[in-house]
Structure 1
Amino acid sequence: MDPVAALSEIAFHLERDRAPQFKVQAFRKAAATIGAWIPDELAARARDGRLKATKGIGASTFEVIRQALDGDVPGRLAKLRAEESSPLTDGGRALAAQIRGDLHSHSDWSDGTTPIPLMIDGAVGLGREYLALTDHSPNLTVAHGLTAERLTEQLEVVAELDHDAPALRLLTGIEVDILDDGSLDQTPELLDRLDVVVASIHSHLRADRATMTERMLGAVNHPRTSILGHCTGRLVEGSRGTRPPSEFDAERVFAACAENDVAVEINARPERQDPPDDLIATALAAGCLFSIDSDAHAPGQLALLDYGIERAAANGVPAERIITTWPVERLLEWTGR
């Protein structure tokens, strides 16, 4: 087995399982280190002891490489493959077969953990037809949000990578902060250049109901907003602890989403499960469109989309109202409306 592929697949499984980042990075760094060598050089380094002494190669990663060089599936990888499970029921699997893309993902340009090409590889491996890169906007400094200058630079990089990735359409995008006054945290000129704009609240989540409602309405009424991201901001589990949902007038906000043709995100991350089931029902009744998104910050987290797919299926969301089931041409016609 190719050692780089083995290390990368182990990292992917660990990311999907939300393992601690230091464990994931051990395998990502080892893959990057040995990927610079031709196979004969790697084999020679493994034989003469230089590989074991190489910075970035630990005992676990060395054993994976050694077993792969011997032509075996490394034991660590075989175990992860055997333990892999899916949240999908029959209804979820039927909907999953109709999903074409993912419109919310992050790279190491903001608070993601890997370069954009690795996110592309992860999406291609999962059979996605398109992926939107939606790194954070500048207000979210803790997430290294993109200034206008950095986003402009990223657009050029995305154009090149999209050209070089025929198996997947890489879409330009942003997860833009909804500011306190309801405006969007990026210049209008740059928002006009993007394929997808996910508008989300990341600050002052405990503001009163009226304030949150007006803030969200400001973003939903903005002509460049495509998707209302993780609308309650809640956390129900995970390493960051828990956080109660924000309070807002869901009927007014979702009515505005339907009127402005803004999709409500079903955020697939298990720690978010956002919106809650009752708000999905409210959005359905309001006539909203939906976008099932992974909010992935690493390649393996793209596979978490299944959790959102299962929740959509369980709540009776019709496939035709889920924009991530649409072909990319229809999607881009809609986002560019």
Structure 2
Amino acid sequence: MDPIEALEEISFWLERSQAPSFKVQAFRKAADAIHQLAPEELRRLVDAGRVTSLKGVGARSGEVITQAMADAVPDYLADLRERGKEALAAGGGTLRTALRGDLHSHSNWSDGGSPIEAMVAAARTLGREYLALTDHSPNLTIANGLSVERLEKQLGIVEGINASLEDIRLLKGIEVDILEDGTLDQTPEMLARLDVVVASVHSKLRADRQTMTQRMLGGIRDPHTNVLGHCTGRLVQGSRGTRPESEFDAAKVFTECAEWGVAVEINSRPERQDPPDNLIKLALDAGCLFSIDSDAHAPGQLDFLQYGAERAEALGVPKERIVTTWPLEQLTEWLSLKK
């Protein structure tokens, strides 16, 4: 087995199971370390039992490399594959199998941890028909948001990937900040060139109810917006701690989402679970469409869609109102209505 592929697959399974980031990075660093070597040099080190002399290769990753070089599936990887046969979520099986794609993911162009190509490869492995690349907009400097110039370069890479693949479509997208005045944090000209625009609030989440409502309505009414991302901004668990829901007039916000054809995101990240159940029910009653998204920042997190499917199915969200269950042709037709 190719040792780099073995190390990358281990990273995938660890990310999927929400293992600590340092553990995931240990295997990615080992993959980077041996990627720099000529095959014969790696063979020499393995045969001499000195592969751990490489910077970034520890005892466990060295064992994986050695076993892979012996043309075997490493024991550690075999164990992770076996554990990976179990679903992440106990429920939601019907919707999980109906999901065709994901409209919210990040790469190392902003605050994700992996190259675009690695995200696409993982999406293909999971059987996705489409994946939207939605790195952050420039206002979110802490997340290395993309300027017009950087986004322009990224679009060229997306076009190149799509030209080389037939079994998956990488959609051009952005997670754009809804600024304090309700405008979107990217030029209208650039937004018009994208397939998918996920609009989200990332700052001043404790603003008063009226201020936050008007801000969100501005983003929803922008003709480029397709999806309202993680609408309450809450955090319910995880390394960043917890954060309460933003206060806004949810009935008004969801009514306008339905009127403007903006899907409400069911964010599948375990630490977000956003919107909460009562707001999903309110959006359902308002006639909204939904988008079950992973908000993945690493390849293994793309499988977090299972959590969103579990919640949506438990709350009775119909499959036909979830845009990420739609075939690509139907999805792109809906997206094009906003262009």
TM superposition score normalised by structure 2: 0.95
Q: How large is the RMSD of aligned CA atoms in angstroms? A: 1.5
1:55 maps to 55
Amino acid in the other structure paired with 2:125: G
1:73 paired with 2:87, answer: no
User: Equivalent residues in 2 for 1:269-284 (5 A)?
Assistant: 269-284=269-284
1:186 matched residue in structure 2: 186
Matches within 5 A, 1:66-105: 66-84=66-84, 85-89=86-90, 92-105=92-105
- Letter matched to residue 329 of structure 1: E
Deviation at residue 158 of structure 1 after TM alignment: 1.0
| CA offsets 1:98-133 (integer angstroms, 9 cap, x no match) | 111000000000000011000011100100000000
Aligned to 1:138: 138
Kindly indicate whether the alpha-carbon contact (under 8 Å) linking 1:87 and 1:310 is maintained by their aligned counterparts in 2: no
The aligned residue for residue 46 of structure 2 is 46
- Could you tell me which residue of structure 2 aligns to residue 268 of structure 1? 268
| Equivalent residue number for residue 319 of structure 2 | 319
Residue 145 of structure 1 aligns to a residue in which SS?
coil
Q: 1:165 to 1:29 in 2, by over 3 A?
A: farther
CA distance in 1, matches of 2:183, 2:268: 26
Decide whether the 8 Å contact of 1:192 with 1:224 is kept in 2.
yes
Q: Aligned-pair distance for 1:327?
A: 1.2
What secondary structure, in the 3-state scheme, does the structure 2 residue paired with 1:27 have? helix
SS state at 1:52 partner? helix
The answer to whether the aligner puts 1:285 opposite 2:285 as a matched pair is yes
State the shift of 1:330 in Å: 1.4
Equivalent pair of 2:96/2:305 in contact (CA under 8 Å): no
Separation in 2 of the partners of 1:35 and 1:289?
44
Deviations 1:173-215 (A, max 9, x none): 0000000011000000000000000000000000011111110
2:308 aligns with 308
1:9-48 to 2 correspondence within 5 Å?
9-35=9-35, 41-48=41-48
Task: List runs of 5+ in structure 2 lacking aligned partners.
Answer: none
C-alpha contact 1:209 1:247 (8 A) present in aligned 2: yes
Task: Measure, in 1, the Cα distance between the counterparts of 2:127 and 2:46.
Answer: 34
The number of aligned residues is 336
Amino acid in the other structure paired with 1:98: A
For structure 1, the residue ranges without an aligned partner over 5 or more in a row are: none
Partner of 2:214: 214
In structure 1, the residue matched to 2:113 is 113
SS at structure 1 position matched to 2:171: strand
Alpha-carbon distance, 1:39 to partner: 5.2
Instruction: Report SS of the residue matched to 1:149.
Output: helix
